[in-house]
Amino acid sequence: MRVTTKGQVTIPSAIREKAGMLPHTEVEFVYEDGTVQLLRATKRKSKAKTRGEQLIEHLREAGRKYPSKLTTDEIMAMTRGED
């Protein structure tokens, strides 16, 4: 395995799967006694919201701005294609 000029390394898919590393997983590197370890980060260091948190917030705001005049039963009937 080789480090690119940008300092990037591809983690083999078998290792990513065993470690449970999905795309956008936060990781950290630890250097100790000439060895480098790659670890999943345990805490988010930034206060920035994740993409999922941003999406949920957006949907909640939209629900408050445009409250539905339909009942739950009416919405479910529309979803099912019932008249």
Domain ranges of the chain: 1-43, 51-80
CATH code at 1-43: 2.10.260
Measuring CA to CA, how many Å separate 77 from each of 55, 59, 62, 68, 69?
A: 26, 22, 22, 15, 14
CB 15, CB 2: distance < 8 Å: no
Measuring CA to CA, how many Å separate 57 from each of 23, 24, 26, 48, 75?
A: 22, 20, 22, 13, 22
pTM for the model:
0.44
pLDDT tens for each residue of the chain, 83 residues long: 899 999 999 999 999 999 888 888 888 899 999 999 998 887 666 677 888 889 999 888 877 777 778 888 888 888 898 86
The CA-based angle 77-80-81, given to 5 degrees, is 85
